[in-house]
Structure 1
Amino acid sequence: MTKCAFLGLGVMGYPMAGHLVAQGHDVTVYNRTATKAQAWANAHGGKWAVTPREAAEGADFVMACVGNDDDLRSVVLGADGALAGMREGAIFVDHTTVSAAVTRELYDQAKAAGVSFVDAPVSGGQAGAENGVLSVMCGGDPDAYLSAETIMQCYGRTVKRLGDSGAGQLTKMVNQICIAGLVQGLSEGLHFAEKAGLDIREVVDVIQGGAAGSWQMVNRHQTMADDHFDHGFAVDWMRKDLGICLETANENGVSLPTTALIDQFYKDVQKLGGGRWDTSSLIKRLRALD
């Protein structure tokens, strides 16, 4: 049994923390809304704390999955932050999708406190978190990663270190860039099929096993056809992630014209009231243009 803390119990963190308990670990959780932490503890038999510092005290590993750069700083730093409660030699594992800049900043802060910091953003969505089959892309010191790898395998099917601090976040940016282009292409293809009088399901049945096939096509074509977007990764969060991608690309002198355009398409979806729709709702924008 390993003593763990988990900070942030959103649609991803709630089931991820549950997998740690299911694998026999001693888990204390923290959530900004305390009633959610209490509910988790009642459901899973773990403990909950009123501050990140209290949750982190005595833990070997502290995991976080919160909203953005500022949210991450708020649970790591300060008198009530996790670093104030972590023992020397403990490891902080950040599953939040944030900028590589804040990752490196917190890596340095943790190192000064005698704590290791691994950036480990995840992909796979709510279903991947619930089923324990996430992809976890990691950056940080090799020894810290190796120590944390087994813990992350409680909810990750693919767990891999890509390089030094920030490499995990940069890899997550690649992931989001690829998804954005793919979902827009899928949306255009399915919308074209609709307007041509074809049955989307029959079309996908034919093409999904060929070069056009993808996870998005297999798992989202039916809900896209049904105009149903109440699952998966929300547009608001995708725009947050794409903003990080575009800012980092600008810093590195990289051109991302397609990503920039699709970010604006997602902005249009937000204007339609779809900030909480999942990312496959790009097809909704195309229908609205008809």
Structure 2
Amino acid sequence: MSTEPKECCLGSVGFIGLGIMGQPMAENLLKAGYKVCVWNRTESKCECLVEMGADMLRSPGDVAAHGPKVLFVCVTGTEDVKEILFSEKGIAKSAKQGLIVVDHSTIDAKEAADFADCLAGAGVKYLDAPVSGGDVGAKAGTLSIMVGGDEKAYETVRPMLEVLGQKVNYMGKSGMGQVTKSCNQVMVACNLMGVCEAMMLAKKNGLSLEKMIEAVSGGAAGSWSLSNLGVKIKDGDWSPGFMVKDLLKDLGFVSHLSQVSHAPLTGTNMVETLFQVLAAEGEGELGTQALAKVYEKLGGFEF
């Protein structure tokens, strides 16, 4: 794979937001040969990308003015995206007609649709394209990417998305990427609760956690959470690939969707409460596998 930045058929690209997910995603675009300009609120996080050949700029607006045809955004929440898009130094102030903004953040679905409408007036296409797969998938380029918005814009950027993800799916109109991500987070949270409960049952009955994980991971109970987070729980590793506080933020969007669509989510409500307990105890910046710590207290044991 070429490591020399090149002008692809789309020209250069921008990347805003170089956190746990964004940094390896931007690195993968550079490794694939794309010419990348970057911005991050904490400039030091740009340094390794600059060493790889990226250009570091001073604001989101500067990135848009630099002339990329595609601009990726990967930040924490709805208000962060709004500031990056519409503040005085935001993208909308400097964007040229024809720019495609691909937003990998997980945000409110209605807000995503509103952002698309607002940017359309400036001739800018906005795709809500949240991702799943954690830092492991971001580093490996194996993310699942769920895209809502203009279908022609999606087809234009799809080759780039296939650098970042193993599964790239067009989900429909603006906001549908975020609705899909909410469905994803329901299954992530509930599956992780099941993993924790199964591991507690194994531990309390003297069964080797390592043997249990190996035995069931190849069958119907196998899952990403078991294979990746189950091992971390067994090892007492609470380091974040995805933080408790960020999953709680996502579950807030899920709760809102469930209310407006009259879709009762009983299991999701239960696990959200358990995560809220964890966050209230000051553990919000641990990885989501720290849900197991709640079960340790409930069961009076340690994994």
TM category, shorter:
over 0.9
For 1:102-141, list aligned pairs within 5 A.
102-141=111-150
Question: What residue in structure 2 maps to residue 228 of structure 1?
Answer: 237
Aligned equivalents of 2:87, 2:246: Cα separation in 1: 26
For 1:198-277, list aligned pairs within 5 A.
198-277=207-286
Question: Is it true that 1:159 corresponds to 2:168 in the alignment?
Answer: yes
**Residues 227 and 284 in structure 1, CA contact (< 8 A), matched pair in contact too:** no
Identity across matched positions, percent:
33
Post-superposition shift, 1:18? Answer: 1.2
For 1:142-153, list aligned pairs within 5 A.
142-153=151-162
Post-superposition shift, 1:106? Answer: 0.6
**Residues 51 and 81 in structure 1, CA contact (< 8 A), matched pair in contact too:** yes
Query: Is there any run of 5+ residues in structure 1 with no aligned partner, and where?
Result: none
Post-superposition shift, 1:187? Answer: 0.4
Q: CA RMSD in A?
A: 1.2
Aligned equivalents of 1:36, 1:213: Cα separation in 2: 35
Question: Is it true that 1:184 corresponds to 2:189 in the alignment?
Answer: no
Question: Is it true that 1:51 corresponds to 2:77 in the alignment?
Answer: no
Q: 1:238-257: per-residue Cα shift (whole Å, max 9, x none)?
A: 00000111011111111111
Q: 1:31-51: per-residue Cα shift (whole Å, max 9, x none)?
A: 1112322x1343321101111
Q: 1:172-225: per-residue Cα shift (whole Å, max 9, x none)?
A: 000000011110011001001111111111122222222111121122222212
Q: Secondary structure in 2 aligned to 1:153?
A: helix
Question: What residue in structure 1 maps to residue 3 of structure 2?
Answer: none
Post-superposition shift, 1:272? Answer: 3.3
Q: Which residue of 83, 97, 100 maps to 2:92? A: 83
Q: 1:132-183: per-residue Cα shift (whole Å, max 9, x none)?
A: 1111100011101001111111211111101010110000000000011110
**Residues 56 and 86 in structure 1, CA contact (< 8 A), matched pair in contact too:** yes
Amino acid of the structure 1 residue aligned with 2:56: W
Q: 1:226-248: per-residue Cα shift (whole Å, max 9, x none)?
A: 22111321101000000111011
Question: What residue in structure 1 maps to residue 26 of structure 2?
Answer: 17
Aligned equivalents of 1:255, 1:276: Cα separation in 2: 28
**Residues 20 and 241 in structure 2, CA contact (< 8 A), matched pair in contact too:** no
Amino acid of the structure 1 residue aligned with 2:77: N
Q: Secondary structure in 2 aligned to 1:154?
A: helix
Amino acid of the structure 2 residue aligned with 1:45: G
Post-superposition shift, 1:271? Answer: 2.9
Q: 1:70-123: per-residue Cα shift (whole Å, max 9, x none)?
A: 000010013311122211011010000001111011101110101111110000
Amino acid of the structure 2 residue aligned with 1:158: K
Question: What residue in structure 1 maps to residue 13 of structure 2?
Answer: 4
**Residues 59 and 86 in structure 1, CA contact (< 8 A), matched pair in contact too:** no
TM-score for both structures, normalised by structure 2: 0.92
Worse-superposed segment, 246-255 or 214-223? 214-223
Worse-superposed segment, 14-23 or 64-73? 14-23
Query: Is there any run of 5+ residues in structure 2 with no aligned partner, and where?
Result: 1-6
Aligned equivalents of 1:117, 1:187: Cα separation in 2: 38
Post-superposition shift, 1:6? Answer: 0.6
